[in-house]
Chains A and B, each alone.
Chain A
Amino acid sequence: MGLLEQFSHWNFYLLGTYPKGEIGGLALNIILAALALSLSFIFGVMLGYSRLSCRMYIKYPCVAYIEIIRATPLILLIFWFYFFLPYLVGGNISIFWSAVISLCVYAAAYQAEIVRAGILAIPRGQLEAALSTGMSRLQAMKSVILPQAFKIMIPSFMSFFVSLFKDTSVTYIIGVIELTQTGIIISQRQPDKMLSAYLSMAIGYFVICYTLSHVARRLEKKIGIYDLESYRPDACRDEYMLLPTHKTGDEEEHPSRICSPKPEFRKDL
């Protein structure tokens, strides 16, 4: 079988030429996604928080950044950084780092939206209570709102990580030797075994994404966002409803997000 033969190349699919050469394959996908997520996390939090600011000169630049990045295809972002980062830095930059930077810029905008949604999901009373105990706004945010908000955001971050992981496949376009590129190279060397090369590629992506999205779903149930949603004041809810969503692994989330109270079914019918 062709597929079994492909498994003799498993080290290329999983690690690239790692022990002898550079790391690649599926491991590189994971590294890219994890690096992008963690490096852009702090920017995401800052952007998401500043977007809720009352000061226009802080709010609107953040809104502009988030909306522009979210409206641009990732491929174009990658090209922007691939071609124009060398001009900015004034020297050569490896394709790996230009991929990481473009993914960071991309991820920061989406994380900002997650953070904003998380902060808005906390009832306003919490902030008022914190302020009335004499905390400053920053203190209230740091020690009251954000700890609660992060708890709600964990599933969203998980599903965003899954979609970011899938998006790292796009970096093959500038020649990063990750899983897609590996599969393409192998299928070009053995054109008769193209199908099995693509199948092994698909299996690699599927295993990781499936596991992660199931963990996300499990977490979501465990954390129980829906209890929290039920006492969120309506003012917040209106804004929350207008949020463009970027979700992958949470199908159960939509109905409760859209209908105002949870739908009540009459059991006596």
Chain B
Amino acid sequence: MSAQLAATDPHEVADAAGHDHGDHGHHAVVENNFMGLPNIKLAMWAFLGSECMFFGSLIGTYFFYHGKALAGPLPQDVFSIGITSISTFLLLMSSLTMALAVDAMKQRNPATARNFLVITALLGATFVGFQVYEFSHFVHLGLKLSTSLFGSTFYVMTGFHGGHVTVGVIWLSMLALLIHKGKLNPAKLPINVEVAGLYWHFVDIVWIVIFTFVYLLEFIQ
């Protein structure tokens, strides 16, 4: 696969290609020109940069409209720091289990990695469950999408975060299933799990930002 070709040292590529540039009298020098990251990992970092702009725009929109809602309920009326703290804790713990999955895979231990992936996915799903409960509770308190700018910005911002967690849950479950069935190239398993981990940690970090700035700051007097 071309991706593997790129990840290799250029001298090896040249040698594999039958080039011999040790003693053929070339004055010119072949220099190493790769970034030192596998394609898929570099792609994930670029994608996460793109995602930063995405969530930056959503969170920016929330603060652009903060305090401009013309009708209640307002954030202080609906937020329940206790409940959200529990779901936040669970999500943060899922980052720990994700890191353990990545580590297990690095030690070439697919069964352990699979188990930690399942635990991570379950923790993520629990977080999404909390969010569903939170949303229905807020609607019960009278905050709908169309109620006010607060309703619109809050639901869409946290909803898209929850959507990302859901995508992550599907991804990790699929990965665990594929590892279980042995359908993936064993040589590529560590990098596959690591890249899924990058995504998962990113989604967690976005939640830390939202929990801190949207929920906690609301209660600073």
Q: Do A and B bind each other?
A: no
Interface residues of A (CB under 8 A from B): none
